[in-house]
Amino acid sequence: MTGTFELFHDEGTSFAFRLTGPDGEVVAVSGPFSNKASAVEGIRVVRECAGMGLIADLCPPILPEAVMETSGTS
């Protein structure tokens, strides 16, 4: 089963979309778009790019001591 893009009116002035997973959980929410056509174009772009998108890890490095503390080993 696949996710679903839900197009909606955000705060009464803008359009936005959210992507829900097969279980209905919200996976992502777009920013605001000034009109419906732009929001639909945003969905198209996400569909096109998401499957082949690279992962950019922007998290700070985890020190080995921190890993040991969270795993419960000493």
**Cβ distance 26 to 18 under 8 Å?**
yes
Which amino acid is present at 30?
A: S
Helix (H, G, I), strand (E, B) or coil at 40: helix
Joined together, the tokens standing for residue 4 give 């679903």
What is the set of domains in the chain, with CATH numbers?
A: 4-71 (3.30.160.160)
Q: Using the CB atoms, write b or e for 22-42: b if 16+ within 10 Å.
A: eeeeeeeebeebeeeeebeeb
Tens-digit pLDDT profile for residues 16-69: 999 999 999 999 999 999 999 999 999 999 998 887 788 899 999 888 776 666
Question: pTM above the 0.85 mark?
Answer: no
